């Protein structure tokens, strides 16, 4: 879907969360650059990246209902058009709605829209502060 009102076109993608050994190496310091750089990542199918004119390593704005984060786009080695992968972290959890009656959130089918951006990566502290302000001032 392309919205004509946006400067950068938006595309619908389904996000599936995955595990990443490199990210887990840095889990002791969730505010450190290494952890953030391995977590604020979204991995796209190559043909999707071409369609969206996105470069490997470029920045993307990823939005779901109510939350928006800026991540690094990465090219997948596998083909999975329409599906993107994100390591499980606060970034993926920022995009997920709450849980259903099972208590389990929807980690394997998160509907998001993505668009190119030149904005900085969203920091972990920034993300927590933003949501905290929403929580405390509603």
Q: Work out whether 105 is an interface residue with another protein (CB under 8 A).
A: yes
Helix/strand/coil for 33: helix
Q: Work out whether 13 is an interface residue with another protein (CB under 8 A).
A: no
Letters for 34-53 (x = contact with another protein by CB under 8 A, - = none) are --------------------
Place of tokens 């929807």: 106
Among the listed residues 66, 62, 73, the one whose alpha carbon sits nearest the alpha carbon of residue 11: 62
What span, in angstroms and rounded, lies between the C-alpha atoms of 44 and 15?
Answer: 9
Question: Which residues would be at the binding site for another protein (CB under 8 A)?
Answer: 14, 16, 18-22, 24-26, 28-32, 66-67, 76-78, 80, 83, 85, 88-90, 93-94, 96-109, 124-125, 127-128, 131-132, 134-136
């Amino acid at each position: 879907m392309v919205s004509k009102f946006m400067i950068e076109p938006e595309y619908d993608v389904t996000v599936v969360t995955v595990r990443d050994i490199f990210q887990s190496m840095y889990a002791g310091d969730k505010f450190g650059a290494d952890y953030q750089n391995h977590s604020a990542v979204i991995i796209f199918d190559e043909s999707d990246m071409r369609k969206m004119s996105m470069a490997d390593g470029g920045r993307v704005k990823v939005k779901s209902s109510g939350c928006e984060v800026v991540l690094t786009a990465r090219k997948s080695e596998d083909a999975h058009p329409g599906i993107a992968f994100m390591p499980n972290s606060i970034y993926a959890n920022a995009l997920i709605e709450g849980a259903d009656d099972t208590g389990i959130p929807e980690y394997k089918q998160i509907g998001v829209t993505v668009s190119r951006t030149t904005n900085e990566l969203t920091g972990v502290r920034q993300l927590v502060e933003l949501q905290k302000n929403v929580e405390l001032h509603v």
